[in-house]
Amino acid sequence: MKSDKSILLVEDDKVDVMTVKRALKEIRVTNKVYVVGNGEEALTFLHEPSNERPAIILLDINMPKMNGIEFLKVAKNDEEIKRIPTIVLTTSRDDWDRVQSFDLGAAGYMIKPVDYLQFVEVMRTIDMYWSLSEMP
């Protein structure tokens, strides 16, 4: 990431959390990663004044309590957090999930590959894109 700001990972699967962190370390992304397990926890984290505002949100879709689509519906209508770029990082290949994500303001939609080396390349792509992007 181009800044020293944190990353918020919204993911309920512990193996996927470890995989994301490992891949970020491998591509030398040193930003702090905060992890929450669902959309409700993400909203709580983002509204807590003592928490650092993340530079980017990596969002899974399939989670308990509040899934990624439900999170986007709330977050992208919230003046405080709607401009935080949100990348959906999911196993869902469902066209409806993809369309809904973009309609609700997701900045990207990436499929989590099963192969670790391909996963690292997905993370490298996210890093490169946001390193080159001009943020508001």
Tens of each residue's pLDDT in the chain, 136 residues = 556 788 999 999 999 999 999 999 999 988 899 999 999 999 999 999 998 889 899 999 999 999 999 999 999 999 989 999 999 998 888 899 999 999 999 999 999 988 999 989 999 988 888 776 666 5
Q: In what order do the strands lie in the sheet with 56-59?
A: 33-36, 7-10, 56-59, 86-90, 108-111
Give the pLDDT of residue 25. Answer: 93
Look up the domain containing 27 and give its range: 7-131
The CATH number given to whatever domain includes residue 33 is: 3.40.50.2300
Domain assignment present for residue 57? The answer is yes
**Residue-wise DSSP of 44-76:** HHHH-TTSPPPSEEEE-SS-SSS-HHHHHHHHT
Domain assignment present for residue 136? The answer is no
Give the pLDDT of residue 5. Answer: 83
Judge whether 71 and 39 are in contact, CB under 8 Å: yes
Tokens 């409806």 sit at which residue?
A: 96
Cβ-proximal residues to 95 (8 Å cutoff; 6+ apart), any chain = none
Give the pLDDT of residue 3. Answer: 63
